[in-house]
Structure 1
């Protein structure tokens, strides 16, 4: 059995080039087009597609390691690419379970299609279980989608948008409809991405004005509300695990920067580097102790998804939990790194200053802290009565 080598897919030279551009995209609020072009040329957008279809044939666990590595170089690039990898990951999860309905996603990724994730809607805390977007059925089996999606990463470049909407007019209505629409004149992308962090994702608002998904791109119709459907599981599992991977990569990078800074800075009091200061050593140890717990947790759940493990009613709690822990731990690690580095990290151009802003975005991704706690409480205590 060959040993997985992350550097074979993301060579050091590529990582260095991506890292060198990250600050520019953050400062100028621009999309990392050069990063995407290099990653596409390296076959990165098809790493989760089976080798027999022309992809990299990697497991979710291996893709997670790569996303941690990419996030350490450029968090916004990794988060943007995540949203494409979610769909190829869902296609893999379904195919591994004998469901081939997203084969076109796998083939499209190999052919150069860029898939975006069009699920988030302002004020919709139902997320996968409901939608304010109208899904109007066509006689041929297609659907026209009208509504507004927010946080659409890869907004300037996507070619296919995976989304959901609510069908309220069919005989079996209401039904949640999951489908893919191409970029046409029926889709308007607002130029409204001006945030404090993760600026390179360019996760702009998307307006759908009757955007049509043809019948062969309508992949699921399921009842609204909590649902054990394989597509829902696929989206939730891959989304949460790859998100956890990105923020774990940020934590790792913050730790690395803190270590390098402590080894470089010299105390005027003692003449020794800060790496010899007991308080600084304690902080870095605290960061490492927190970070070290994350990769094994993510790897274990990724292996369980890859291996078709059955956690029953605990699945969603475990997935929401690992995302929540990764995000909150990453934020705590970055906070500690800021204290180690001192006042220089307060400048906007400092890498730690950028990581400090980037890591905040993790709190807004599903599952947010309230949703994660609700999911875990239900798994252990059962639903609220009444």
Structure 2
């Protein structure tokens, strides 16, 4: 029997867990497919392998899939996102000197209060021609957009009051240690690695900036989706089972041990386990504290590709690239996310399937029953820290009211 194989590119991050676990735990083979995992150290390399046919799919930062489809920074290649690999799971980590300057106290800070203290330091440093520098993982990353959204919302002007540069996740702690950056916004386990090495202190979780914010996705070329629809549906079913496995407390230690291997994250299993179980160590030697939903997965249809999330990412692309709104580009950005493919693949699986493909982002404050075509869907808070709401049908109006 011929086995359909998917070569999937990934970066060494905890939110690469689902394709890794689908392979290691046999969920893929039960669906009649094989997964071959290809590790890289930069998102540009992950993207390029995908575009040039060295991989069939990729663990990818969501905005990069949209930027690639729109031709930002390179010729356009249509990508499709039929599955979200995780929500949130990132943090903003300050160097130990900056942490001292803003008075971090060993717990998650209030975004507004911390922002006020950071603004004072940032303006003082800028006046001395020594601006603070923050590292993000790619220009087109949720890390970049989350960090900028928070900074602008507390009165710190990105690219004017502070500098923002690109730092590969596995080297983020080293960049802090060398003094090349004063802060980082990256995924786990690299914030915790910086803390454990004593070169950084975690200040914020990105879940505090946008609760349930979209993070990594499964991306593939549109041509692959067109040619391998049945095999892709099997892959999505395997990933869905892997997500359920990932959130089971009984499997957490085993999952951490698998991810810790040298060919995957090559990081301490204990550090990875903290992320999986929503525990954060804010400073070196401190006992980890529980922060619910730090890394959100599986529940509340977390793997569903909401087109409104893609639209928000597109709005931030316009905002920070100083681009005019284009209805055609907005439609292309939203259509990169494929809820139709998700529903079709999981229709017989028992998975909860939202009935809508888009929603008002930031409007949910507590548990809310939502329409579904399969299963019972309850959605939790998806608030932005500044209480703004995003209507995907009025991107120009939304942008007009941002600071």
- Tell me whether the two structures share a fold, i.e. TM-score over 0.5: no
Structure with the largest fraction of helix:
1
Greater Rg by CA: 1
Please give the TM-score of this superposition, normalised by the length of structure 2.
Answer: 0.28
Please give the TM-score of this superposition, normalised by the length of structure 1.
Answer: 0.29
Structure with the largest fraction of strand:
2
Bigger RCO of structures 1 and 2 (CA < 8 A, at least 6 apart): 2
